[in-house]
Amino acid sequence: MKILIINGPNLNLLGTREPEIYGNISMENYLNTLISDFDQQQIDYFQSNIEGEIINRIQQDDFDALVINPGAYTHYSYAISDCLKNSSKPKIEVHISNIYKREEFRQKSVTATHTDAVLSGFGLNGYRLAIISLLNN
């Protein structure tokens, strides 16, 4: 199975950005662990701070399942939401922090409506749990 992981704005700063919320492990290091742990699968990774690039990547449709952390776009990107709606691939939204324990504006996800599940508050382990779920369904 080819699994695409997409991260939105500022998630390239994992490991240095607000480590008290997001931890101190970089996405690159964690991604290497995932690729090693799921070596029977193909895991591709894409990160962008640009909404249109995220949409273009999803529309390439060259993957079997999607794990997406839209970052700040979670709360207001109807464009990404519409793109997810038009993708028939299995997809899980992941949030490193528990968005329901954060500021009020972070507690609303406009993208989650068009995903099969949401994992929030499991730290980076949310990506692993999403992959396991996709492989079991």
Give the number of other CB atoms < 10 A from CB of residue 95. 22
Question: According to the annotation, is 5 in a ligand binding site?
Answer: no
Question: According to the annotation, is 82 in a ligand binding site?
Answer: yes
Question: According to the annotation, is 69 in a ligand binding site?
Answer: yes
Question: According to the annotation, is 102 in a ligand binding site?
Answer: no
Give the residue numbers marked as catalytic. Answer: 22, 95
Distance CA 80, CA 52 (A): 8
Question: According to the annotation, is 43 in a ligand binding site?
Answer: no
Annotated binding site: 69, 75, 82, 96-97, 106
Annotated binding site for substrate: 69, 75, 82, 96-97, 106
